[in-house]
Structure 1
Amino acid sequence: MPHIVRSTIIDAPTMTVWNVLRDFNGHDHWHPAVATSTIERAQASDKIGCVRRFRLKDGSELREQLLALSDLEQTFSYYLLDTPIPMFNYVAHVRLLPVTDGDRTFWHWESRFTTKPQDAVALTKMVADDIYQAGFEAIRKHLKEAA
């Protein structure tokens, strides 16, 4: 079972980063892989159990469900419901923590999933690089442009 753990430091206060990340339907505004996103059944994007349906820029469509969200702890978790990629039981967790030296943010992003053994290395690299690392860089750019 692949287990991916990535983290970074963002040069912005945790509340600034959280205000972007906590919108479960907002990743199409900052993540370079996401073209469009909607919450099914017109639910609020912070309602536990809501499902986001989004299209990647390559045309693939995915669905993810919000499992948990805590403003107090600045965390959320989600589950991948549907994907054309051979990943199963994908659950991810995001957590922000303050870095008091410079009022910055520590961003921790991790996931576990199952897949065929022959796909594990390639999918682990894809999630780590094309999703997580690309997301870190995109948030940096997004916050810089918003400032």
Structure 2
Amino acid sequence: MAKSYYSTVFEQTTDQVWEAIRDFGTYTWAGSVSESFLEEGKSGMEVGAIRNARLGRTSLFHRQRLLAHSDLDRFYTYEFCEPFPYPIRDCIVTLCVTPVVDGNRAFVEWSATFDCESDEHDHWTTYFAHEVWAKALESLKHRFSQPA
């Protein structure tokens, strides 16, 4: 089982960051996601909701199913649905926002466990952390820095 992990600190409060990302169906804050929607009219906080996300101008949508959602603990967990967008299996992902008391900031963690070919372990753990999550969270930081 492989594990990928990325974390960062936002200058915004935990509530501000959570408000921006809490709706599982709204994923365009990630920057590289050009479109996202939920199947069957479900809510972005409803366990079982399936999100379709399109990266950039590609014609492929990546499907992800919400497994857990907590406003109290400010996290959600989801899984990739078939067909998998990457050559991995059994991928479970969690995005969590935690308060940093010093400075009233937000600590954001994004992690996943998954199976992949052993010779691709380093590639995929690095790819998710630095090519997907780091860039998505940097895009969110950029959005916060823009005038309202």
TM-score using structure 1 length: 0.92
How many Å separate the matches in 1 of 2:68 and 2:144? 24
Which residue type is aligned with residue 70 of structure 2?
Answer: S
Indicate yes or no: 2:37 matched with 1:45: no
The SS at the match of 1:129 is helix
Q: For structure 2, which runs of at least 5 residues remain unmatched after alignment?
A: none
Indicate yes or no: 2:22 matched with 1:22: yes
Aligned in 2, Cα 1:143/1:58: closer, same or farther, shift over 3 Å? same
Please report how far the alpha carbon of residue 146 of structure 1 lies from its aligned counterpart in structure 2 after TM superposition.
5.2
Question: Does structure 1 retain, via aligned residues, the 8 Å contact 2:31–2:140?
Answer: no
Q: Percent identity?
A: 27
Deviations 1:5-61 (A, max 9, x none): 211110000000000111111111x21221111100111111111000111115232
Question: In structure 2, what is the equivalent of residue 61 of structure 1?
Answer: 61
Question: In structure 2, what is the equivalent of residue 112 of structure 1?
Answer: 113
Deviations 1:85-132 (A, max 9, x none): 101111011221111111100111111111122322222221111211
RMSD of Structure 2 on Structure 1 (CA) = 1.4
Count how many residue pairs are aligned between Structure 1 and Structure 2.
146
Indicate yes or no: 2:91 matched with 1:90: yes
Q: For structure 1, which runs of at least 5 residues remain unmatched after alignment?
A: none
Larger deviation, residues 45-54 vs 76-85:
76-85
How many Å separate the matches in 2 of 1:138 and 1:71? 22
